[in-house]
Amino acid sequence: MNKDFKISVVIPTFNEVSNIGMLVSKALPILENYAEYEMIFIDDGSTDGSLAVLKRLHELNENIKYVSFSRNFGHQMALRAGIDYATGDCIITMDADLQHPPEMIPGFVEKWMEGYEIVYTVREESDDETYFKKISSSFFYQVIKFVTDIPIEKGAADFRLIDRKVADYIIQLKEKDLFLRGVIPWLGFKQYRIDYTPAVRYSGKTKYSLKKMLTLAATGITSFSTKPLYMSAFLGFLMVGISAFYGLYALFQHLFNHNVITGWASIIIFTSLIGGIQLMMIGVIGIYLGKIFQEMKGRPGYVIQDYAGFVRGKQVFSNSEKYNYRNHNKGYKGIN
Ligand code: UDP
Ligand code: MG
């Protein structure tokens, strides 16, 4: 088997001090079977000493590299930075908490060598997950399915292999509000699906707070669809239609039935209903407007305070710089 290629493993890490060592000790024996590899940890503003562990690991093994954010920029941005910095022929993204078993890496690589440009995973239900997480994630995928035209599969995880070609397209995406689970199916390419049952989190608690989950859900929906905006217009028309009928009815009562004291309940119901729908729709429009505002400012999606294992660590490589950098480093095994 021709193994003359480089594998990059990208690991977003937010306060995972008790998991990093275990992950490295499980992944290294697997990665060392390949000609070249690098493990890139993206320290997403950890405050628990994860960075110190990463520094130590880099001293011991120069293939273990890190990029450290100046604060918490979120899981998706960490993935993005890892893809920006990775120089492998294929890039595997996985969590730091061992829920994504490193033992699956050779299977990914095999499929990649067969010609699949994306090998993605879909998680099967695991008993370890809380009831709330199961329900909320299922609801999330239902909503996504309803409002977007992108086939995002239920249980899609950020545990996947992408080919260099795919990574180069992701690097070119300008959007800061990245939702990789949508971007990957949107990109197309030959994709291979692997089902897996996530392992139990090795140590620590989930870093996905309810707030982060809701933000991810809103990002997912509004990054891939403008349908909610159309729904807002549609609902508006519907309400106008209903009110027109109700208006006719009220007028009829007013003209021909002088005794009734009607309207109190219906006024309350209609005003609150319409008020609610208006607020909801203004909110939807606000989310899109906010996104335009964020993208307009053109700020970098992440800020790096420290890194190791890279020739130079500018915040974000421009595309031409990235290509030069990669070409320049061809043949310098292990330095970049
Ligand atoms: N993570 C991150 N930044 C964040 C939240 C999470 O880099 O703001 C990392 C985290 O360290 C882990 C991965 O993203 O490696 C997935 O997070 P977690 O395991 O907490 O999510 P869950 O598996 O519970 O959905
Ligand atoms: Mg996890």
For residue 73, which atom of ligand 1 is closest to its CA? 8
Residue 137 sits in the same domain as residue 243: no
**C-alpha–C-alpha distance, residues 107 and 57, integer Å:** 26
When divided into structural domains, the chain yields a total of: 2
For residue 104, give the DSSP letter: G
Please indicate whether residue 158, judged by its CB atom, sits closer than 6 Å to ligand 1: no
Residue 233 sits in the same domain as residue 162: no
Residue 179 sits in the same domain as residue 293: no
Residue 264 sits in the same domain as residue 187: no
- pLDDT, tens digit, 9 for 90 and up, residues 111-162: 999 999 999 998 887 666 677 777 877 777 777 777 777 777 777 788 999 9
Please indicate whether residue 159, judged by its CB atom, sits closer than 6 Å to ligand 1: no
Nearest residue (CA) to ligand 1, atom 12: 95
Instruction: Read off the pTM.
Output: 0.75
- pLDDT score, position 332: 38
Q: Quick check: is 150 in a domain?
A: yes
Residue 12 sits in the same domain as residue 129: yes
Residue 262 sits in the same domain as residue 176: no
Residue 123 sits in the same domain as residue 201: yes
For residue 191, give the DSSP letter: E
- pLDDT score, position 244: 78
Say which amino acid occupies 161.
L
What is the domain-level CATH number for residue 40?
3.90.550.10
Please indicate whether residue 177, judged by its CB atom, sits closer than 6 Å to ligand 1: no
How confident is the prediction along the chain (336 residues), in pLDDT tens digits per residue? Answer: 456 889 999 999 999 999 999 999 999 999 998 888 999 999 999 999 999 999 999 999 989 999 999 999 999 999 999 999 999 999 999 999 988 999 999 999 999 999 999 999 988 876 666 777 778 777 777 777 777 777 777 777 889 999 999 999 998 887 777 888 888 888 889 999 998 888 777 777 877 777 887 888 788 777 777 777 777 778 877 887 887 788 788 778 777 876 666 676 677 777 877 877 887 788 788 888 888 887 787 778 888 888 888 875 543 444 444 444 555 444 434 333
Please indicate whether residue 78, judged by its CB atom, sits closer than 6 Å to ligand 1: yes
Ligand nearest, relative to CA of residue 207: 1
What's the 97 CA to ligand 2 centre distance in angstroms? 6
For residue 205, which atom of ligand 1 is closest to its CA? 20
Residue 115 sits in the same domain as residue 195: yes
* Pocket perturbation via mutation, ligand 1, pick of 9, 13, 14, 210 by most ligand atoms within 8 A of CB: 14
Please indicate whether residue 77, judged by its CB atom, sits closer than 6 Å to ligand 1: no
Going by their DSSP bridges, the two strands 64-69 and 304-308 should be labelled as antiparallel
CA 322, distance to chain mean position in Å, is 23
Bridge partners for 161 per DSSP: 92, 119
- pLDDT score, position 23: 94
210: Cβ contacts below 8 Å, ≥ 6 apart: none
Strand locations in 5-117, DSSP E?
6-13, 36-43, 64-69, 90-93
Residue 40 sits in the same domain as residue 173: yes
Residue 163 sits in the same domain as residue 265: no
Domain boundaries, position 17: 6-209+303-328
**Token pair for 207:** 């870093």
124: Cβ contacts below 8 Å, ≥ 6 apart: 155, 195, 196, 197
39: Cβ contacts below 8 Å, ≥ 6 apart: 9, 11, 24, 27, 28, 31, 63, 64, 65
For residue 78, which atom of ligand 1 is closest to its CA? 7
Residue 149 sits in the same domain as residue 183: yes
Please indicate whether residue 97, judged by its CB atom, sits closer than 6 Å to ligand 1: yes
Please indicate whether residue 75, judged by its CB atom, sits closer than 6 Å to ligand 1: yes
- pLDDT score, position 68: 94
